[in-house]
Amino acid sequence: MWARTMRWGDVRMRILIAGGDGFCGWPTALYFSARGHEVAIADSMIRRKWDEELGTQSLTPIASLEERVAAWKELTGRDIRIFIGDLTQWEFVESMFRTFAPEAVVHYAEQRSAPYSMIDRAHAVFTQVNNVVGTLNVLYAIKDIVPECHLIKLGTMGEYGTPNIDIEEGYIRIQHKGREDVLPYPKQPFSFYHLSKVHDSHNIMFACKSWGIRATDLNQGVVYGLWTDETQLDPRLYNRIDYDGVFGTALNRFCIQAAVGYDLTVYGKGGQTRGFLDIRDTLQCVELAALHPADFGEFRVFNQFTEQFSVLELAQRVQRVAQSMGLQARIVHLENPRVEKEEHYYNAVHTKLLDLGLKPHLLSDELIAGLIQTAQRFRDRVDFHVIKPTAKWR
């Protein structure tokens, strides 16, 4: 097999990036293309439609996917193929897999916002149908068309919840009434979005066991940051960054709020603790998974994050950096729109990617300052009306 017989630096493969127009997908496509892989992007362009639905926009201006890909080819001479379509439509998925025949699929193509999934019944149903059915179609395409293909699926640490014991990487050894077994780690998801990820994990595990295909589930923490080596090359390659109450994530949102003089909005007490990682480390982790694929029949789980912080710790750190830049960043505690523990034990294992060679970019004041400066540069694109949370769990 190519992945077993070729040396690290020599591996070249056909990689399909599902959701390749999104926050994680676009820099991943450039990252693999820059390293000589044959890359294709699949996307329905629905993320841009959600901006229209919610009345929001990326802080950074982003070119169309066609303009992005054309700019990349102009700058590097490397081409990226584009497949526009919906993974929930089998005819599209089948045609794409037969045309491109990927050796690895990096699957980001899901509705990824917990608040979006909790807006109302329609958004909850859409999230679960879109995410679960799309992943099922990908699984069948691998089984029927490219059975040696390695599925690299973006999961979430939110599948685990906040148990009062350490969180293992996917599986836990249990002793019960004199017997012992290794079982999937119990799941306590936070939202209908996180529930869709749990359903994905169960479906993928079943498919690997039943059909002998191979998959890696990357249970990713909250991603922060913006720039990668590739996206900084040209304004046409800029990645999106969200600050609104639906798609904006904690650290990025706090930095943008500080830049425009808006209060840093902490939900509840702020003791909610999660795993976090730099966008550059997302790219490293996906590459490590691709170059060290799971065995056939194996459903492998990696916890993909580098550090743990509480929401309040992040707000305080942004406040300190902002004040050093002459900005007044006030922390305010809002009524928590979510149903979650605001003070809890949290210790998650995350060693498997480090063992494969992950070199983390740990959170630095310089990175926070850079995000704030970027937000200041594009502050005229910030709509103050969309910053506060609107979706409520109750």
**Which one of 116, 193, 224, 267 is the catalytic residue?**
193
345 noted as active-site residue: no
Tell me how far apart the alpha carbons of residues 274 and 109 are, in angstroms, rounded to a whole number: 23
In the three-class reduction of DSSP (H, G, I as helix; E, B as strand; rest coil), residue 352 is classed as helix
DSSP-assigned letters across all residues of 31-90: HHHHTT-EEEEEE--HHHHHHHHHT---SS----HHHHHHHHHHHHS--EEEEES-TT-H
Helix ranges (H only) for 167-278 are 192-211, 250-259
60 noted as active-site residue: no
DSSP-assigned letters across all residues of 87-146: TT-HHHHHHHHHHH--SEEEE--S---HHHHTS-HHHHHHHHIIIIIHHHHHHHHHHHT-
**Which one of 185, 197, 228, 243 is the catalytic residue?**
197
191: its two tokens: 């939202």
CB hemisphere CA count around 332 (13 angstroms): 13
One-letter amino acid at 111 equals: Q
Contact 271, 315 (CB under 8 A): no
**Which one of 60, 156, 231, 306 is the catalytic residue?**
156
388 noted as active-site residue: no
The catalytic residues are 156, 193, 197
